[in-house]
């Protein structure tokens, strides 16, 4: 089944170029020339987009406002959004990412890069859509935010659960401290990495017998290795 890519872009040349190249790569691209049309197509329950490419400088409803609206809707609350804009300032990128964008590409851009980033985001979303994790000791239900170790419920804060989830979904791979801070605390976090280490220590303590599932990679970060 073809994946729908919604392109919300008011510049015809850019929109048509993206449409042509996504179609050639095996996607089903849709074009919206305004934020209002983008919202209408994004909320089409019969034909929802798998990912949205969103220009920020649109006539009428801005890209930022559209992103805000999409994140409020149940149908599009988790739909990946890649912002495409001429605004290159760091403050603009942070604002977009804080609104819920998954990536940010500055114009002018390479179409090949856009397609590569789209594929990367879709791969990550597919991996994160796994509903549960289980091994011999531990069980994690990502939808219900429930963790059990040796059949005992483990009470975690949202940050602790987000940390554990990110590590599990990247099982076997080293997650650097900066990657964990970016993914759990957000791109706008500029605090001390010791905050992360404190949360990891508390997470291990709460997991008890399952605490050894998180391995420290000295000088780099952490890795999920499963419970032993």
* CATH label of the domain that carries residue 205: 1.10.10.10
Please check whether residues 157 and 220 belong to one and the same domain: yes
Closest C-alpha among 154, 137, 138 to residue 146: 154
pLDDT over threshold 60, residue 194 = yes
Which of 23, 26, 29 lies closest to 1, judged by CA? 26
Give me the number of domains the chain comprises. 2
Q: Which range, 123-137, 183-197, 200-214, is most confident? A: 200-214
The predicted structure's pLDDT at residue 130: 65
- Same domain for 158 and 117: no
103 and 176 in a single domain? The answer is no
CATH assignment of the domain containing 112: 3.40.50.2300
Which DSSP category does 184 fall into? I
DSSP for residue 208 = G
- CA–CA separation, 27 vs 35, rounded Å? 22
Tell me the residue range of the domain where 116 lies. 4-128
Residue 112 and residue 156 in one domain: no
**Residue 138 reports pLDDT greater than 60:** yes
End-of-domain residue from the set 64, 95, 128? 128
pLDDT over 70 percentage in the chain: 93
Q: What is the mean pLDDT of residues 171-194?
A: 75
The mean pLDDT of 208-217, rounded to a whole number, is 94
> What per-residue confidence (pLDDT) applies to 65?
92
Whether residue 118 sits in one domain with residue 219: no
Do 192 and 109 sit in the same domain of this protein? Answer: no
Query: 170 phi and psi, to 5 degrees?
Result: -120, 35
pLDDT for 52 beyond 60: yes
**In 3-state terms, what secondary structure has residue 224?**
strand
For residues 29 and 18, the answer to whether their CB atoms sit within 8 Å is yes
pLDDT of residue 172: 84
Q: What are the CA-CA distances from residue 159 to residues 70, 185, 186 (Å)? A: 24, 8, 11
Q: What is the spatial distance between Cα 68 and Cα 110, in angstroms, rounded to a whole number?
A: 27
Pair (110, 149) in one structural domain: no
Residues 102 and 148 in one domain: no
Which residue intervals of the chain are DSSP H helices?
12-24, 35-42, 63-72, 90-99, 111-128, 158-169, 177-180, 194-207
Q: Measured between alpha carbons, how far is 13 from 88 in angstroms, rounded to an integer?
A: 20
| pLDDT for 18 | 96
Q: What is the pLDDT of residues 53-110, one digit of tens each?
A: 999 889 889 999 999 899 888 888 888 999 988 876 777 777 777 777 888 888 888 9
pLDDT at residue 41, rounded to an integer: 96
Q: Which of 13-22, 163-172, 180-189 has the lowest mean pLDDT?
A: 180-189
In a shared domain, residues 14 and 88: yes
In the listed set 77, 106, 128, which residue is the last one of a domain according to the structure?
A: 128
Output the average pLDDT for the chain.
Answer: 87
Last residue of a domain, one of 128, 144, 172: 128
Q: HSE (CB half, 13 Å, CA atoms) of 83?
A: 29
Evaluate if residue 189 carries a pLDDT over 60. no
| Euclidean distance between CA atoms 72 and 117, whole angstroms | 24
């Amino acid at each position: 089944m073809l994946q729908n890519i919604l392109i919300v872009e008011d510049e015809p040349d850019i929109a048509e170029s993206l449409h042509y190249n996504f179609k050639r790569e095996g996607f089903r691209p849709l074009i919206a020339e305004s934020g209002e049309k983008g919202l209408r197509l994004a909320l089409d329950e019969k034909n929802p987009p798998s990912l949205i490419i969103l220009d920020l400088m649109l006539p009428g409803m801005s890209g930022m406002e559209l992103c805000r609206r999409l994140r409020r809707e149940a149908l599009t609350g988790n739909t990946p959004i890649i912002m495409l804009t001429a605004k290159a300032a760091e403050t603009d990128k942070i604002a977009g990412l804080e609104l819920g964008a998954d990536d940010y590409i500055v114009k002018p851009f390479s179409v090949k890069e856009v397609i590569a980033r789209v594929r990367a985001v879709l791969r990550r979303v597919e991996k994160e859509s796994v509903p549960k994790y289980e091994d011999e000791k531990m069980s994690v239900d990502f939808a219900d935010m429930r963790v059990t170790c040796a059949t005992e419920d483990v009470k975690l804060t949202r940050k602790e659960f987000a940390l554990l989830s990110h590590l599990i979904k990247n099982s076997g791979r080293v997650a650097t401290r900066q990657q964990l801070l970016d993914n759990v605390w957000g791109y706008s976090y500029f605090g001390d990495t010791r905050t992360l280490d404190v949360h990891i220590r508390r997470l291990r303590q709460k997991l008890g017998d399952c605490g050894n599932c998180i391995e420290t990679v000295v000088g780099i970060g952490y890795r999920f290795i499963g419970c032993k």
